[in-house]
Amino acid sequence: MLDALLEKIEGQTARVAVIGQGYVGLPLAMAFSRAGFPVTGVEADPEKVAHLNAGTSHIPDIPSRVLAEALGCGYAATGDPAKLAEADAILITVPTPYTKTKQPDMTYVRQAAGAVAAHLREGQLVVLESTTYPGTTEELLIPELETSGLRAGVNFEVAYSPERIEPGNRQFGLWNTPKVVGGLTPRATELAAALYRTVVERVVVVSSPAAAEMTKLLENTYRHVNIALANEMAQFCHRLGLDVWEIIEAAGTKPFGFTPFYPGPGVGGHCIPIDPYYLVWKAQENETVVRLVELAGQINEAMPDWVVARLADLLNDRGQSLRGSRVLLVGMSYKKDVPDLRESPALRVLEKLHRKGAHVCYHDPVVPSLPAHFGGLCSCPLSPETLSEVDAVVLLTDHSSLDQELLARHAPVVLDTRNLLKEHRTESVVAL
């Protein structure tokens, strides 16, 4: 039956099921649909299922017209896990957050594995894509799948292939980002690689699921550590009266040995603030310490406090106290032009300002309102009138559509954490 599955994959007739239809799962489902595969999107949120089947995309990177084309080619979303029995290949793309104590939260992976096990049949391929710690596939996923009575590597195959999608990236998407694949067996690797080659330019094969899991953690930890270095340099340069942005730009002219990373109000999103802690946790489980990774986490997590402290200093220089001041935060999403609030450092800045007694409002062209636990705030217009009513502005997300000249001209003082207003630097426009 596994030989038959390879023939189906090569003939693009294999039925593909993608569990989770979010920032990772929906683009993946659309890619396989465009390649000609019959695709089912399995999603636990009934509202998302209804919107998807009505042709309305909730993911900015997937226009509704692309979803409509997929629906016309047989794609369908469902909340019924029994549909997994009809699939030949099952791809798991569920969230992997961490707990309050920064330990891996495998709740969604366990739930997905349980759903697959309940409907697993001989001859299927199961691939986990969710970012996780090395060992998850073999220590957690496979034992759960084998509660079906079937054996991995004998009756069905299992592989791990980390998602590498960056929301909002217009240069690199699923097609032109190499796909890392590590199977439990050589046959599992062969099947998974064959499947992904239909939707990506290049597949990179590694020796095991654990090697593939570790690859993803190394990628994101690399960014985490280098952003921490940039953040620490920003603080040090401020103490020295130097412009860290000028220095990074100058260092970046070296054609070898230096890759620019930039400071900011912290790190956000579904990967960089979380994945390194999976590495830390796994190291602790193996009686090992990853000191550099832990220190980078401490530096990046402290950046919202640094932003608030810098703002307090700017107000103090103008004879004002942070308590009672009116502060406009510009940009609440974790990165430019993406309406994604996951782990956004801007939200932490907002909370800290509230606790210090500031009166906070915000503007974000792609985030019209905040969740109820943030006071149900709605984005206010960015206008001369709004800017005249506040004591300070903190620019936290460098959205492309922001009117830079308006901010520089009408804001009483701006703390620019992204260097967006570098062409408008004055005594009232201050970089982080």
Catalytic residue IDs: 271
Rounded CA-CA distance 100/98 in Å is 7
Rounded CA-CA distance 146/308 in Å is 51
- Cβ atoms of 139 and 131 within 8 Å: the answer is no
CA 353 to chain centre: 25
CA dist list (Å): 93 to 25, 31, 97, 105, 114: 5, 14, 13, 14, 14
Helix, strand counts (H, E) of the chain:
16, 13
Side chain identity, residue 38:
P
- Cβ atoms of 337 and 409 within 8 Å: the answer is no
Rounded CA-CA distance 381/361 in Å is 10
CA dist list (Å): 92 to 18, 89, 240: 6, 10, 49
- Cβ atoms of 332 and 397 within 8 Å: the answer is yes
Place of tokens 């240069």: 171
Grouping H, G, I as helix, E, B as strand and the rest as coil, residue 217 is helix
- Nearest Cα to Cα of residue 42 among 31, 34, 53: 53
Sequence length of the chain is: 432
CA 117 to chain centre: 28
- Nearest Cα to Cα of residue 347 among 309, 324, 312, 373: 373
- Cβ atoms of 295 and 228 within 8 Å: the answer is yes
CA dist list (Å): 404 to 89, 331, 401, 410, 420: 48, 13, 9, 10, 8
Cβ neighbors of 293 (< 8 A, separation 6 or more) are 221, 224, 225, 276, 279, 280, 283
- Cβ atoms of 234 and 365 within 8 Å: the answer is no
